[in-house]
């Protein structure tokens, strides 16, 4: 098994919330951000953002590096890859890829935002 089921549960639970997905997107756009930098993009209290980040850390979707007194947050895509291999990789990638290309084209979205 690629990961223990409790680890996978944490990843899915963490991903089930739009705020946390937004935080992951922010970290994908720019890695190594501080809490303060992330809060500037979020319409909620600093405490709420901290709690969401904590859940992402526990799911190992966010990795943290201390640089001096700054806590920097990084998107850690490794658990996402484990899910991909476990749940998507076994299906026919080429057909899924073709469907996604079609969807992106019909929706006028060439950007890889999915």
Q: In whole angstroms, give the CA distance from residue 86 to residue 72.
A: 29
User: By CB under 8 A, is residue 55 in contact with other proteins?
Assistant: no
Q: Is 94 in the site for other proteins (CB under 8 A)?
A: yes
**C-alpha 81 chain-centroid distance:** 11
CB of 48 to other proteins, least distance (A): 24
Q: Hey, which bits of the chain come out as E strands? A: 62-67, 70-75
53 is a site residue for other proteins (CB under 8 A) = no
Told to check if 67 binds other proteins by CB under 8 A, we report: yes
Taking the complex as a whole, the smallest distance from the CB of residue 58 to other proteins amounts, in Å, to: 12
Distance CA 49, CA 43 (A): 9
The reply on whether position 60 binds other proteins by CB under 8 A is: yes
Identify whether the C-beta of residue 49 lies closer than 8 Å to the C-beta of residue 23.
yes
* CA angle in degrees (0–180, nearest 5) for 99-90-107: 15
Nearer CB in complex with other proteins: 50/89: 89
Give the pair of three-digit tokens for residue 4: 């223990």
Contact positions toward other proteins, by CB under 8 A?
1-4, 7, 31-32, 60, 63-65, 67, 72, 74, 76-78, 80-82, 84-85, 89, 93-94
């Amino acid at each position: 098994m690629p990961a223990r089921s409790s680890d996978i549960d944490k990843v899915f639970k963490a991903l089930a919330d739009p705020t946390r997905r937004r935080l992951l997107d922010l970290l994908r756009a720019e890695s190594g951000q501080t809490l303060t930098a992330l809060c500037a993009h979020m319409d909620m209290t600093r405490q709420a953002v901290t709690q969401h980040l904590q859940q992402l850390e526990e799911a190992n979707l966010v990795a943290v590096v201390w640089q001096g007194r700054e806590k920097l947050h990084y998107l850690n895509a490794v658990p996402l890859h484990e899910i991909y291999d476990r749940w998507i990789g076994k299906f026919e990638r080429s057909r899924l890829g073709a469907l996604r290309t079609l969807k992106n084209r019909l929706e006028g979205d060439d950007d890889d935002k999915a």
